[in-house]
Amino acid sequence: MKRHGNLWCNITTFENLLLAARQAEKGKRYRDNVLRFNYNLEYNLIEIRQELIEKTYQPGDYRTFYVMEPKKRQISAAPYRDRVVHHALCNVIVPIFERTFTNSCFANRIGYGTHSALRRFTEFSRTHRFILQCDIKKYFPSIDHEILKTLIRRKIKCPDTLWLIDRIIDNSNLQESIIEYFPGDDLFTPHQRQRGLPIGNLTSQFFANLYLSGLDRFVHEQLKITHYLRYVDDFALFSDDADQLRQARQEITTYLASLRLALHPVKTQQFETRHGANFLGFRVLPDRVRVRTENLRRGRRRLRRLTTEYNEGRICQQTFENCLQSWLAHLDHGDTWHLQQKIFTDLGIARP
């Protein structure tokens, strides 16, 4: 396997850092922290560049908060200047690993994404009798730092780049405590290993894909299951042979243990596709795709709140219409025409 060196000069060029700043500000350009950074943009980028070159760069503290829907999750927001560094790093290393990913990995990749995954899932559901739907227990808090660094070093040998990657990983803030034992562990092993990546980092999203990229190849090449897809830690295998999927579950459990991961005991299930399956906020049935009830309930609440803010003059018409169009575009991936008409009728607003 080819390992890549001499990456540091590409990461630390002023041009790459400027590009990273433009990427980091997308959708957030008028926030206070972004405006402050951009007010002295050139000076701030030169300062970051100097810290990287001199190896004095130290990531800042995370701002942590919780989201409660669809489930309680800890979200960690890095300081804005650190997000610029994350983009600068990913601009250089992501293309190296991207070539090693299979086309069954859909999250956080250009040309893939949520709706492409939903279309593939629907296609496989309607052409196979059985599905093994899997979810990894506490995925982000369980990612093992030592294993992740080993996977990265299989493709990257540039010492300076590895220094920055290690600094970002090691600076991960405290995540939910996970005590899980695997073959070969002693009583203290789970307490001694550093684990967890902060949800919210661009680098965390990339590392999460990388950490399971070997699973994608394992399913295709070792288990010989071609109809498979993964979105972060939510993945599904399809077959007309129920025994093949039962055996696959056992072998996947063993493979994941080598990464110090475990399947969720409740969310991992095997069943017939004719009963329908939930995936990425939709319920995929043999003859239609519906929005899941809880997702629809959350969407209605957001739409009511958005309408109130618009009527009270807290957001402009353009922002209001952009948000509506975004939500409608999401609904359009299901069989939701009548649902959309009812929603707008109930709220008493015209569809944009």
CB 48 within 8 A of CB 81: yes
Per-residue pLDDT at 13? 98
Per-residue pLDDT at 291? 82
Per-residue pLDDT at 320? 73
DSSP 284-319: E-SS-EEE-HHHHHHHHHHHHHHHHHHHTTSS-HHH
Per-residue pLDDT at 64? 85
Per-residue pLDDT at 313? 79
Q: Supply the angle between the helices 337-347 and 317-331 in degrees, to the nearest 10.
A: 150
The secondary structure of the chain in percent helix, strand, coil, rounded to multiples of 5, reads 50, 15, 35
Residue type, 208: A
pLDDT < 70 positions in the chain? 1, 68-70, 330, 333, 336-340, 343-352
pLDDT, tens only, 98-135: 999 999 999 999 999 998 999 999 999 999 999 999 99
> In this prediction, what percent of the chain has a pLDDT beyond 90?
65
Per-residue pLDDT at 348? 62
Per-residue pLDDT at 156? 97
Q: How far is CA 86 from CA 46, 167, 197, 269, in A?
A: 16, 11, 14, 36
Per-residue pLDDT at 56? 97
Per-residue pLDDT at 170? 95
Per-residue pLDDT at 351? 55
Q: How far is CA 317 from CA 28, 60, 189, 288, 340, in A?
A: 18, 37, 56, 34, 20
Beta-bridge mates of residue 64: 76
